[in-house]
Amino acid sequence: MIQKKAALITFAFSQILAAQEGPIGELDLLLGDITTISADILQLIIESDGGVLEETEIKMLLKRPDKLYWETVTPFQELILTNGEILWNYQPDLEQVTIENWDSDDSELAAQLLNGRTETLSTEYNVSVINAEDNKNFELSPKTNDSIYELVTISFVNDALDIIHLDGRSGEQTVWQFNNLIINSPIANSSFEFEIPDGIEVVNNINN
pLDDT digits (tens, 9 = 90+) for 89-98: 999 999 999 9
* Res 56 pLDDT > 50: yes
Average pLDDT score over residue span 35-58: 94
What domains sit in the chain, N to C, each tagged with a CATH number? 2-82+102-187 (2.50.20.10)
Q: How confident is the model at residue 103 (pLDDT cuts 50, 70, 90)?
A: confident
> Which has more pLDDT, 73 or 145?
73
User: According to DSSP H, which parts of 150-205 are helical?
Assistant: none
* Res 137 pLDDT > 80: yes
* Res 13 pLDDT > 50: no
Strand 173-183, strand 201-204: pairing: unpaired
* Residue 21: predicted pLDDT: 63
Report the Cα–Cα distance between both ends of the chain, in Å, rounded.
Answer: 55
Burial 174-190 (b: 16+ CB within 10 A, else e): bbbebeeeeeeeebeee
pTM for the model stands at 0.83
